[in-house]
Amino acid sequence: MRSTISHLLSPTPLPPPLNFRQKTPTSLLNNSRSFSSRRRTWISQTEIKVSSSSSSSSSSSDNQTVTFAPSPTRKDDDDTDLPESASEIVRSFYKGINDRDLAAVEKLIAENCVYEDLIFPRPFIGRKDILEFFKKFNDSISKDLRFVIDDISAEDSLAVGVTWHLDWKGKPFPFSKGCSFYRLEVKNSRRQIIYGRDSVEPAIKPGEAALVAIQGVVWLLQRFPQLADQL
């Protein structure tokens, strides 16, 4: 009895402390953009597959894959030394289009730039191809039709988002709203656009019918998985 009481009164040893060391998820470690407090590192790559509508018996050159990487690692302090910010470059880009000054636009576009306008089936690849597109664009519209920037991001030194619309003689043009994304690189101590994507308001708005169409495509892919290879 006495030994039992002394056992109950003796101090109970505490368990070892738990180590709640948080493990960084693999998805974050593999994130395409990694940042630190002192340096910004761009390690992502964008791959665009340019497909052709030709038959399957055509040569392999019909399917092109364009891969480019943004600018190499740079200190944030180095970016502040450049004369124009990323948003100012994009503003100058739209001004050049409005003024039909393609010589000014040419200086803002990297030689290996890729430009996607989502109403076209294939992207425009390279500065020459892009400038030819904008020449045709300017030749096909009136000088009174101009881009107006509604909002533009200015926080990032190498990426810019823009919402815009077209004006006709100072009045909003119907079905002309759009949003764009631009990625820039630093080369020879100046920023240039290395990638752009435009998404434009459709003239025909299907509404809920678009959801039905998406459901139909999903059903076809589930029923015929081999169709996924054609996407």
Q: Strand pairing of 109-117 and 190-200?
A: parallel
Query: Which pLDDT tens digit goes with each residue over 146-198?
Result: 999 999 999 999 999 999 999 999 999 999 999 999 999 999 889 999 999 99
Tell me the chain's radius of gyration from C-alpha atoms: 27
Per the structure block, which two tokens stand in for 212?
């039905």
pTM summary value: 0.65
How many CB atoms within 10 Å of residue 220? 12
Q: What is the mean pLDDT of the chain?
A: 77
Which of 94, 93, 96 is CA-nearest to residue 110? 93
Percent of the chain, pLDDT > 70?
A: 64
Query: Which pLDDT tens digit goes with each residue over 56-101?
Result: 434 444 445 555 444 444 444 455 567 689 999 999 999 999 999 9
Per the structure block, which two tokens stand in for 162?
């823009």
Instruction: Tell me the C-alpha distance between 149 and 157, whole Å.
Output: 19
Cβ pair 88, 77 in contact under 8 A: no
